[in-house]
Amino acid sequence: AQKITQTQPGMFVQEKEAVTLDCTYDTSDPSYGLFWYKQPSSGEMIFLIYQGSYDQQNATEGRYSLNFQKARKSANLVISASQLGDSAMYFCAMREGGGNQFYFGTGTSLTVIP
Amino acid sequence: ETGVTQTPRHLVMGMTNKKSLKCEQHLGHNAMYWYKQSAKKPLELMFVYNFKEQTENNSVPSRFSPECPNSSHLFLHLHTLQPEDSALYLCASSQAGTGLNYGYTFGSGTRLTVV
């Protein structure tokens, strides 16, 4: 079974609007971390935001926030006030307790329209 | 500049060639990784090195051969590749044995085309 599922291959958003990128995960480990990475066309993977399984509050980093629904095993990324520079691939990833390996989803391509 | 440098950025090679990809980090991390990224597929973990020792080889064909001479450098030696090996190869590093909130730092990748 897939550890990380991203069901939106492509998304479009108007500049200055908010957009939500979906991510669901599968683990039986009570201890895990969830990450979002941005990959522009240059190829580099840029860390955006982290949410721990025991964190009580949703993580926020500037215009990025993570909508963590633990019972639903979802960790959606919300980007507020979209900018043209936000156009990129976005990957959700999970790290389980005790391990170094990351599990990545297939990614969502976001296009911001002027 | 992320702290993880990969060279070359682009590589075109014939199926009979031998080439090497290089990854270098000066972040003081003790774990390094090679990932393969093909279109419309999840990132595939290829190799993991912890403290210079290979700890994982995810059923990667022998035409890919990793080398980790020290904790700052990682190589991927390529020989007799197939066209389906064309992909973006990403190197990452991390501090193994730390808390869950420690993520990977990635390089910019090498875009490999096998002709």
Min Cα separation B51/chain A (Å): 13
Structure-model confidence comparison of residues A19 and B95, the more confident one: A19
* CA B19 to chain CA mean position, Å: 13
In this prediction, residue B2 carries a pLDDT of 63
**With an 8 Å Cβ cutoff, is B105 touching chain A?**
yes
The tally of CA atoms less than 13 A away on the side-chain side of residue B58 is 12
Determine, for residues B108 and A43 on separate chains, whether the beta-carbon distance falls below 8 Å. yes
Widest CA span of chain B, in angstroms?
43
The single-letter code of the amino acid at A24 is T
**With an 8 Å Cβ cutoff, is B41 touching chain A?**
yes
**Mean pLDDT in residue range A69-83:** 97
> Are the beta carbons of A104 and A5 closer than 8 angstroms?
no
Confidence of residue A88 (pLDDT cuts 50, 70, 90): very high
Whether A59 shows a pLDDT value over 80: the answer reads yes
Whether A99 shows a pLDDT value over 90: the answer reads no
Give the pair of three-digit tokens for residue A44.
């580099």
Average pLDDT, chain B: 89
Distance (Å, rounded) from C-alpha B102 to C-alpha B97?
9
Nearest by CB: B88 against A43, A47, A95:
A43
For the segment B57-85, what is each residue's pLDDT rounded down to a tens digit?
778 999 999 999 998 999 999 999 999 99
Structure-model confidence comparison of residues A73 and B95, the more confident one: A73
**Mean pLDDT in residue range A103-110:** 93
Closest residue in B to A5 (Cα–Cα):
B42
For the segment B10-21, what is each residue's pLDDT rounded down to a tens digit?
999 999 899 999
* Angle, CA B35 vertex, CA B31 and CA B41 arms, to 5°: 145
Radius of gyration from C-alpha coordinates of chain A: 14
Integer angstrom CA distances of residue B108 from A43, A67, B35: 5, 28, 12
In this prediction, residue A93 carries a pLDDT of 94
**Mean pLDDT in residue range B23-32:** 92
Whether B1 shows a pLDDT value over 70: the answer reads no
Average pLDDT, chain A: 94
Q: Which of A45, A48, A49 to mutate to test the interface with B (most CBs of B within 10 A)?
A: A45
